[in-house]
A and B are shown apart, each in its own frame.
Chain A
């Protein structure tokens, strides 16, 4: 296994009115194999742009992303992606969705069936194999999306607010699942989220980004992800350091949001 290097990336794009937006500026990040990284920041800080660059959907104007010693030129199966919602294929059953990656590689049927069966058991959907995805609840759909991503055996899993559309209870269950899967599979995971709590729980390493231009503002090393594996997440949240770090980050983000508001008012 190898890591992922984000090498001095800048992203600037022109607007139709002649202006331009600096979405990211000089972002450098070295992510080790098996690391669980959560990225947090106010809206407009370029975190989704960063993820899209890593996934290969966008090309940076400067810098490069290196995965397994190869520069990223476009999307590829070694970087799996889990979206917030609406990325499942409604015309396929749960099983067909999960085996999409193996099927694209023309993996023999008997081999892919084993992988799919095992993963559906891991995410607790073994009884829903032949259901249509639109018959499942939102939480179940996200579990299918996770299993689909894992079935393709990616080295890095990119998650773009994967739990954002779920209700609070389902979300907590899914957070436990993500932690367990991380520990079990040892994959590198980059998770983007709006929720400070989620970033704390699901980040060995937590990155706070600042907007205009998008850049890394502060980095934390946190123990909560390790603590949360196989444990009750509510117990983790009671940890004194947890509350302290949460307040610190919240204050930081509030400050940034206020600053953005102030700047908008000035320019207006």
Chain B
């Protein structure tokens, strides 16, 4: 049990997917202007990351490894994740319209999200089992969501502050991301 807890905390805080591994910076800056949008995007990432990690684990285990094709891992994962997101979008639209409404507009953005891809690849590199993979993906997604919401909160406050012209918008967002990254570095000593 303790093992899973450590995995969970590690993925969420210590090895935060965006602040420690620097993956998914594009949506991290792009969708962190408003906290409402940040929550939606974060939710979508958690959802897709879990799905993608589980499917790619199956693909790796039952297609690529048996045929000795693991050198095609990256390419195959891209294909699989892109198709998966498309499928999930269609599925949600038909079956769970409520969930589609809250996550729908973010799903296409995740098709090429390197955070999702990164989570899937890390699981394979660490040779996790399916349960660990799902948990890890969930925790990493949550880590992304936390970072996103924190940044959005700060940026909302910052939007009404006096800033030098050159720093307004994305530049200050990047500076903030860097500072947050340094702050999260403190978690390194915890585990």
Please determine whether chains A and B interact with each other in the same assembly: no
Residues on A lying within 8 angstroms of B by beta carbon are: none
